[in-house]
Amino acid sequence: MTEAIEDTTATAEARLLIVGPPGAGKGTQAKFIASSLGIPDVSTGDIFRENIKNETPLGLKVKEITAQGAYVPDEVTNEIVADRLSQTDAAKGFLLDGYPRTAGQVEFLDEFLAGQGAALDAVIRLIVDTEAVVQRLLKRALEQGRADDTEEVIRRRLDVYHTETEPIIDIYRERGLLIEVDGLGPIEEVAGRVHKALEARGIRPVDDAA
């Protein structure tokens, strides 16, 4: 019988979310934060894109929904997130990117974490100017050949974000979990602001946690 190998990878034991509108740079910052804290970066967008690329049944369904600028139904996203957070590398912490996006998803995540005897430690909100985001996304669409990312679709996605996702920010603000950071500027500068804000909450990179 093969003996189980204990995972000795250092982590900061932090359960975090990062929120912000499409184009705010969440994915880039999430990778920086997760790497420095030694926790997995769990991006629902990456999971969906992988399924779209492989043309799985989920991928084809998600592609049709997102092409219209809408969100994937809660029940589908909840199931995917619960499965990912149940994996061993997320036992001591994680950084969720792209979830939760609705009040229903907030409730589901609360119940899921409570079942593990855990709770969120902080929610990072990247604040950006809407027009700056539109131009950033149009530039990315051109560079990456994303023909479906027209200005109309981009603005529709932003409208959906403001309508469905911004209300969850108030929920986390009321709980005292919200950390608001200016998301405009060079990547390194934004990352520095995020880490400074996290350190103020006692959440430090693994090299500094000792």
Q: What are phi and psi of 94, to 5 degrees?
A: -170, 165
Residue 126's DSSP bridge partners are 181
The catalytically annotated residue of 49, 146, 155, 156 is 146
Mean pLDDT in the chain? 87
Euclidean distance between CA atoms 116 and 133, whole angstroms: 37
The catalytically annotated residue of 15, 84, 92, 101 is 101
- Which of 34, 145, 164 has its CA nearest to residue 104? 164
The catalytically annotated residue of 140, 175, 196, 201 is 140
Residue 196 annotated among the catalytic residues of the structure: no
- 91-104 pLDDT, tens digit per residue, is 999 999 989 988 89
Helices (H) and strands (E) in the chain, counts: 9, 5
Residue 201 annotated among the catalytic residues of the structure: no
Residue 136 annotated among the catalytic residues of the structure: no
Enter the tokens of residue 23. 């184009």
pLDDT, residue 83, reads 84
Residue 200 has pLDDT above 90, yes or no: yes
Euclidean distance between CA atoms 92 and 102, whole angstroms: 25
Percent of the chain at pLDDT exceeding 70 = 92
Report whether 94 contacts 40 (CB < 8 A).
yes
Residue 173 annotated among the catalytic residues of the structure: no
Q: Coil, helix or strand for 94?
A: strand
- 1-22 pLDDT, tens digit per residue, is 434 334 444 556 899 999 999 8
- Which of 179, 191, 177 has its CA nearest to residue 33? 191
Enter the tokens of residue 183. 């998301």
- Which of 14, 70, 12, 22 has its CA nearest to residue 183? 22
Residue 101 annotated among the catalytic residues of the structure: yes
Q: Say which residue the tokens 């669409």 belong to.
A: 141
Structural domains present in the chain: 26-197 (3.40.50.300)
- 41-84 pLDDT, tens digit per residue, is 999 888 888 888 888 887 888 888 878 777 788 888 898 888 88
